[in-house]
Structure 1
Amino acid sequence: MIKKSDLFSETRLIKNMDAFELDYIPDQILFREQQLSELCFRVSPGFNGGRPMSTICRGQPGTGKTLSVKYLFSEIERTQKRLVPVYVNCQTHNTTYAVISRIYQQVIGNPPPRSGISRYSLLDCLAFKMRQKKIVILVCLDNVEYLIYNKTINEILHLLLRMYQSHPDCRIGVILVTNVIDLDLSKSLDQSVLSSLSADDIPFPPYAAEEIHKILLKRVNQAVLPGVIPAEVLELVVQKTHEAGDLSIGLDLLKRGVQKAERNGRSSVRKEDILLNYRDARH
């Protein structure tokens, strides 16, 4: 029989554990102002009915690419209705039908029928909705390298970027996000698709140690009660995060450290919690 104490610890350290999650969108994105400004500029034609300029966000994991795009998308949704952002994780949606279905679901508001409808029919429905509502679609293809591995990138980009040929006045812009620093799209895309894409890069360099400290400190203040993460523990997390070059490592170390302290009935996280979790994460 499960005891109540196993489900609900008497030691409560947490205010908002979501602040340690990878999909958490804070109210401010630190140290990515330049990238956000460039993204805003490149998507801005969509606010007036034009096609957003294609963009590639490039950087190693944990450098704020996905977070920046999702923050931008939340602001777009909050402030206007003309440009409709759609996020697609290509690691899980890497076939042509899966990508088009994901776009259809987010724009139409419900999933497509389970069978009996082609991707071209889905695009026809999208086009009808776009003309009816006078909207422009902005699609983020995150982890776009998986479309290359699955050999679907040419067809998907062709269908999206040249939708206007079969459906006049229907415009779709794309943001491609990749963890592969040296990804060369010219080796994977047909010349016609490459020409339609005409994308500019926005680089996302690794965070400096001082930046990591300020980002994680803000998350700590949002997530847990004062004193739960002592200064020396946070410094250790910053060090390990900087060594890895991946902010998600730091967030995971903090989350698991707090969970262990709470489980053991302690009021704060210890250095050994972090070192043990870091060792486990690296093996």
Structure 2
Amino acid sequence: MSFGSAAYSIDYANEITKLDPLLFLPQRLSLRVQPQMHARGIVIQLIAQQCTVLALLVHKLRLAMLPDATTRIGIVGGGRVGVGICEALVAGGWPPALIAISTRQPDDPRWMARVDAAVARYHDNAKLALESDLVLLAVPPSQLTSVGIQVKHTLGQPASTRVLLSVLAGVELDKVTKVCACPVALHTRVHPSIVADVDVATMDTAVLAANHYAHNNSVGLRDLCLRFEQLALRLGVDERVARRVAVDLVLGPSSRPPFDTPLPSNAVWHRSWDDLLSTTQRVWSSAIDQVDVPYQEESDVAALPSPLGHLV
């Protein structure tokens, strides 16, 4: 094969994921690669933002039942996506000591050098899952089976309250749930085809990420509420209010119980997180069709003596 024909055989869609954007100015990239690099960068930011929001929802629900709870996040995958998620979490105020990354190359200078020094680095997915409350899958879809074998024993424990969050593109959540044996699983939702015209300098990442998740996804928002209901039940929320707790958590609190109880003063929680969740909840609540909101019978809630059916 000649040099010329070899150059034209490059799989740009795949190779673009391996480029370090900090090494390239736009004018140094070919016209063919520029839009792909632009879209890829925005997609990763939106994925990281959605991971932050979903992690906050998990953490807030845990705090409602366990006032002194900390939520440890384990990221499987130390490439551009995994490191991007880690950077977004730390930038958003998540304590780096409560984050860990498991990767085949924990000392890889391309990406891992950007990770906060307080973030633990593992070369052991099973250990990461065991020590985490929220496990993020940020690996290529081709690695799902091998990763699943390593984490399913921990995630599949009957009484486990761990949550799995997948960012795998093109892989149905039901498949991820089955392979990893995790009863409570979530996923990000980003549309690469509608980011081409986004201006990175002026975009509101929180609003854009919320809109991408909600885009033509009313049924998906309903499913998200039901998945948080599953987590609420596992955390010990009374079954009579678990669904309303989940709906209030995902779509925004109603003007009455069960999910209007302030968090404890000593809780690991930043005021800016409330603003981020409020922004997301406004977008999601306006995007879901009323018929898809999984309401619960009012009579089931009224008889409870405290907001969650338990003292918190």
**TM-score normalised by the chain length of structure 1:** 0.30
> Which of 1 and 2 has greater Rg?
1
Greater RCO between the two (CA within 8 Å, min separation 6)?
A: 1
